[in-house]
Structure formats: C-alpha cells, structure tokens
C-alpha cells in the first residue's frame, strides 16, 4: 500500500481502546439479555415470548425497509423471502431450543454454552 492510502486508513480506523470498549459493551448487553429472558420466562411461555419478541422486531424491520421493498419489485422480494424463510427455520429452531434450555438452567450457564460452542464450531 502507498503511504497516502495507509494514512487514510489510519485516520478512519478507530483507536484500539474504542474497539475494545465497543466489544465490552456488546458483550455486556448480550450477557444481560440472558438474565432478562430468564426473568421473563417466569411470567409467560417460551413460544409466546419468542413470538412477541420477533414479531416486534419484524415490524420494526418492515418499517425501516418498506421503501426498499417497494423499489425492489415483487419478484426480488419473493426470492428474498424464500431464502429468508429457509434460514429462518434454522434460526427459529436455535432460539426455541436455547430459550427452552434457559428455562431449566441458570443464565450464566446458558450464556457460557453458546460461547463454548462457537469456539468449537467457528
């Protein structure tokens, strides 16, 4: 790389401490959700909780990307929905199994297991 390109890349990239802080914040939020979900599961069923959680998320994404859906055309949207449905089945299965597991284990154990599995199967 030329010196000019190196300088531009260096100016745009965040400092090391910013990257580390961002990673720590994301890990804190991710870990906290296990405690929140465990507490929520004492009040409602697993499937109902996941339906409300992902229904709300789907509605928000629909609002964010509605103009793009209109511009893309029905054929492109249909192909995207087919691929998303295929991936969504496996994602749904993972969330259901993980949330059922959280109902019967501690939040710490449940937060630790996915981290271990992701190390074994990157």
Backbone angles phi, psi at 73, to 5 degrees: 95, 160
Contacts of 118 (CB under 8 A, 6+ apart): none
Checking if the pLDDT of 49 tops 70, the result is: yes
Q: What is the pLDDT of residues 51-84, one digit of tens each?
A: 999 999 999 998 998 888 888 888 888 888 888 8
Model confidence at 35, pLDDT cuts 50, 70, 90, reads confident
Query: Whole domain around residue 13: which residue ranges?
Result: 3-120
**Are 53 and 115 spatial neighbours (Cβ–Cβ below 8 Å)?**
no
Model confidence at 2, pLDDT cuts 50, 70, 90, reads low
* Residue 80: per-residue pLDDT: 86
Distances (CA, A) of 90 to 23, 86, 121: 26, 7, 16
Token pair, residue 55, equals: 């229904």
- pTM for the predicted model, two decimal places: 0.65
Split into its structural domains, the chain has a count of 1
Cα atoms in the 13 Å half-sphere on the side-chain side of 97: 8
Q: How far apart are CA 40 and CA 12, in angstroms?
A: 41
**Are 96 and 47 spatial neighbours (Cβ–Cβ below 8 Å)?**
yes
* Residue 112: per-residue pLDDT: 76
Per-chain mean pLDDT for the chain: 83
């Amino acid at each position: 790389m030329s010196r000019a390109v190196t300088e531009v890349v260096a100016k745009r990239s965040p400092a090391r401490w910013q990257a580390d802080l961002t990673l720590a914040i994301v890990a804190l939020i991710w870990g906290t959700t296990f405690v929140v979900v465990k507490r929520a599961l004492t009040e409602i069923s697993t499937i109902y909780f996941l339906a409300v959680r992902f229904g709300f998320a789907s509605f928000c994404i629909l609002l964010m990307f509605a103009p793009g859906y209109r511009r893309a055309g029905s054929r492109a949207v249909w192909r995207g929905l087919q691929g998303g449905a295929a991936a969504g089945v496996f994602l749904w299965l993972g969330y259901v199994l993980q949330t059922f597991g959280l109902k019967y284990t501690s939040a710490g154990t449940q937060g630790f297991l996915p981290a271990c599995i992701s190390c074994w199967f990157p």
